[in-house]
Structure 1
Amino acid sequence: MSHDPDCLFCKIVAGQIPSRKAYEDELVLAFHDIHPWAPVHVLIVPKQHIAMMSELGDEHVQLLGHMSVLAPKLMRDLGVTNGFRTVINTGPDGGQEVYHLHMHVMGGPRPWLKG
């Protein structure tokens, strides 16, 4: 599995930087965002370093499917009952800040409004 020693999320996956874990398995780590936009805001991060969604290929179908199926399970487990939002920012024009593929999963009252 690839790893970038300078990547913030690779360091979190490796346990070098602490996080508040919500879920972990052999493919992904999910943890609570330190600057949440919603009452419940977790990031689902592949353990494999993939810089952005535009670098995905056919070999990543299982990984993205796994992340997509995990999102509603996490929201249910965290008490979100009235809907949630998923976002994957890609590249500079897509608002990506950390160049390690990650899915934001946000739930609670109007999670997309930041005021």
Structure 2
Amino acid sequence: MSTCLFCKMVSGEIQPDIVYQNDFVLAFNDINPKAPVHVLIIPKQHIETLNELTDAGLAGQLFSAAPIIAKQLGLSENGYRLVVNCNKHGGQEVYHLHIHLLGGRQMTWPPG
């Protein structure tokens, strides 16, 4: 998808601040962080929302990357939060599936 911001990152057209990647996922620091650590984990394949994610293997790749990144960033012991927003009412702003990994401070509940 030539107009998708995250696809441009996957293709290298835009250079994000990458913290992790493998053959299936790319993870990078959010440019508008909501916590001291705010990483976005995306599939390299364009999938607009969680509603379109039908590949259990890819879902596993996305969620398996989170603890690797958390450990790399020193979040494992104290903890972190994963958030997936889906569509407008869920707060999704970029229509390329992504997981927010938030940490570095105490999270509160309810989130919003």
Change (3 A) 1:111 1:12: farther
**Aligned residues of 2:53 and 2:59 also touching (Cα < 8 A):** no
Percentage of matched positions with identical amino acids: 49
Write out the 4+ residue segments of structure 1 that deviate beyond 2 Å after TM superposition.
110-114
Matched, 1:12 2:9: yes
Aligned length: 109
Give the deviation of 1:40 after TM superposition.
1.0
Q: Which runs of 5+ in 2 are unaligned?
A: none
Give the TM-score taking structure 2 as reference length: 0.91
Using the alignment, how far apart are the partners of 2:65 and 2:48 within structure 1? Answer: 20
**Which residue pairs with 1:31 in the alignment?**
28
Give the stretch that moved more between structures: 103-112 or 12-21: 103-112
Matched, 1:67 2:58: no
Using the alignment, how far apart are the partners of 1:63 and 1:111 within structure 2? Answer: 27
Using the alignment, how far apart are the partners of 2:28 and 2:108 within structure 1? Answer: 19
Q: Give the partner amino acid of 1:66.
A: Q
Give the TM-score taking structure 1 as reference length: 0.89
Q: Tell me the SS of whatever aligns to 2:47.
A: coil
Give the deviation of 1:39 after TM superposition.
1.0
**Which residue pairs with 1:54 in the alignment?**
51
Change (3 A) 1:19 1:112: farther
Map Cα deviations across residues 41-89 of structure 1 (whole Å, 9 max, x no partner).
11111010000001122xx101111111210110111111300000010
Q: Tell me the SS of whatever aligns to 2:67.
A: helix
Using the alignment, how far apart are the partners of 2:80 and 2:36 within structure 1? Answer: 11
Using the alignment, how far apart are the partners of 1:13 and 1:85 within structure 2? Answer: 24
Using the alignment, how far apart are the partners of 1:52 and 1:95 within structure 2? Answer: 11
